Structure formats: C-alpha cells, structure tokens
Amino acid sequence: MNYKKREVKEYARENMKGVWVAITNPFTDDGEPDEKGLRRNLNYYAEDLKINGIFCNGIMGEFWALTIPERKKILEIIIERSKGRMLISVLTTHHSIRETIELTQHAQEIGADFAVLTNPYIGPRTESDIYSYYLTVCKSVNIGIVVFNTPTNGYSMSPSLIEKLSEIENICAIKTTDAMDHTAEVRRKVGNRIVVSDPLEERLFFNMVYFGQQVFYADPEPYLYQTKFKQPIREYIELIKEGKVKNALEIFNQLNPIRKVYMKWIMGPLQKGMMTNAYLKYWTELLGMASGPVRPPLSQATDEQKEELRQDLINVGLIN
C-alpha cells in the first residue's frame, strides 16, 4: 500500500478489523511450493470463510524454510489472487537486516497492505539494539509495519519498548502473544496510537468485551475451528458487536472441546518450543485444504499421530 507515512496509523485503525488468519504454505509431495494449492486455499478463506485479512509467510508458513525468491513469489501469488477480497500482511523479517529491508520494500512495491516484523531472534537483544533494528527498517519504507511480539523467538519485548516503538511513524499495529497482563500494560502505554491484537482465540471474547479489541489478528483458529457451513467464531463476534454478550458467550463456550484439541496438538507443544506445523497442516488437510509435507528440519507427523489427531477431530464433531 503506497501511502505516506503519516497516513499509516489512520489506515490501520480504519481497516485492520474483523478476522485475520495466519496461513500455512502448502507444499507438493516433493517439498516445492504448491502454487495451485495456495490459490485454492486463498479462495476458501475469502469465499467460504469470509476472512477479512491474512498474515502470510509467518511461523505458520514456515518462513525459515523458504528462500528469498520463494517468499517473494508466494506473496505475489497471494496479492494476485486476494487483492480486493482480503487485506494482506506479510512477515518480512529475515536473518540479515538488508534482506529484511529487501523483503519489506518488495511487499510495499507490489501492494501488500502491511509488512510484519518480528522481534529479531538472532543478533540484537538489548532494547536499544531492538529499537534500532525496527527504526532502520521503518526508515527504508512507507508501508505500515505490524510488530509481532512473540516469546517463540526466545524473549518478549517489554511494554515500555513497545511504547517507544509505537511512536515510530509507520508502526501501526502489534500482534502480541504474551500473557494477558503484559498485553493489558501494552494497551495502557500505547493508547490508541496503534492497533493492539492478542491473537489467541481463547481470549478473544474477553479482549473484545472488556478491552474493545477491534481485530482478531492473526492465528489459524478461524480456519481450524470453522467450515463453510459452521462458523461459530464469526457468529459470536457479530453477537458481541450487536451487544448480545450473553448469547455470544454461550457460543464462545461451545468451542471449548475444540480448544482442548488445539492446545494438545498446536498451542501446547508450541509454547514448549516445538514447531507444530506438521500437525497444523494435517488438520487443514482433514478439512479439505491443500497442505502437503513440512520442510526439513521439521519432522513429518507419523501415521500414528495422524490417526490420533483425526480421531480427536471426529470426537469433537469437526469432521466425520
């Protein structure tokens, strides 16, 4: 999105709303990007699930296993297929800050709505170095920057550092996966300067009702818990917006059995440092989406694990 830096924060407040998903990158059996499968998945998100926006080439997309040309090509396909149907954000963090800038500039040039930078996982760890990292990248572009604060990278940024980052002209939002008290303090410090999203669906009801969170940005639950024919997350979100909080809570609570499966296979192991992309992709495959294998060094799910996951999803009524 080629807007002036001073317009970025307003653009995010006005447009970063609704349900956004962190998508996987499907691969063919020989481990190459499955471009046809990606296009099919994008149609499913937009047409069947009515998703408002996507976050691509992130942790769920195995960004560490992709080459620079592959990351660019995947984004180009997403923009070609989805522009005008869903808003698009893309993780552009890479090992080298020069390659991070290259990917961020590419995202701006081809029309992504937002670029996403995660707290750097190699090199800078002091708050001054982390701030310098973000500032250096932000100065190179006009595109809106989303900060992705995740302890998965070995540490979490403090609310004070996030407050300082929020003052950078084109930082416009944050996805923060830390504890709720940490996120509450972030909200207190940044005010309405940037959009704040806690991406965990299990906390979405409370974040919307008590903190006025305007966007679910961005995790895989909306395409793992929902289908074309049954969309409880969208339903309880709409009920909250209508002020029917009690009805919304009833639907929210009905998802508890599926949440237990998600915690068992995806979030629980992830919180312990295990990349669970193989289980995530098999879950999507069971729902009819293109998935394929994970790339090394991640391990594939075993036949026994696949069968156990399949039975778990049958038991909660998500598949037959």
With b for 16 or more beta-carbon neighbours within 10 A and e for fewer, the 247-262 pattern comes to ebbebbeebeebbebb
Percent of the chain scoring above 70 in pLDDT = 98
Q: Is the pLDDT of residue 5 over 70?
A: no
C-alpha to C-alpha distances, 191 to 159, 163, 313, nearest whole angstrom:
12, 9, 40
Find all residues with CB under 8 Å of 237, minimum gap 6, and list them. 18, 19, 204, 208, 216, 248
299 occurs within a structural domain:
no
Q: Which domain holds residue 211?
A: 5-228
Residue 4 pLDDT: 67
Residue 155 pLDDT: 87
Residue 292 pLDDT: 98
65 occurs within a structural domain:
yes
Q: Which band of pLDDT confidence, cut at 50, 70 and 90, is reported for residue 273?
A: confident
Taking residues 116-124, what's their average pLDDT? 84
Residue 6 pLDDT: 65
Ramachandran assignment for 67, one of left (phi > 0), alpha (psi -120 to 50 degrees), beta (any other): beta
Residue 33 pLDDT: 98
280 occurs within a structural domain:
no
Sign, CA torsion 117/118/122/126 = positive
Q: Quote the CA–CA distance of 241 and 140 in Å, as a whole number.
A: 38
282 occurs within a structural domain:
no
259 occurs within a structural domain:
no
pLDDT tens-digit map of 41-76: 999 999 999 999 999 999 999 999 999 999 999 999
Q: Say if pTM beats, i.e. exceeds, 0.85.
A: yes
125 occurs within a structural domain:
yes
284 occurs within a structural domain:
no
- The CATH number that applies at residue 106 is 3.20.20.70
Q: Which band of pLDDT confidence, cut at 50, 70 and 90, is reported for residue 92?
A: very high
Q: Is the pLDDT of residue 3 over 70?
A: no
Q: Is the pLDDT of residue 238 over 90?
A: yes
Residue 20 pLDDT: 98
Residue 123 pLDDT: 73
Residue 153 pLDDT: 75
Q: Which band of pLDDT confidence, cut at 50, 70 and 90, is reported for residue 151?
A: confident
301 occurs within a structural domain:
no
pLDDT tens-digit map of 212-223: 999 999 999 999
Identify the CA nearest to 208 among candidates 175, 241, 235. 241
- Structurally, the chain folds into a number of domains equal to 1
Neighbouring-strand partners of residue 176:
149
How high does pLDDT run on average in the chain?
A: 95
Name the token pair of 107.
């995202």
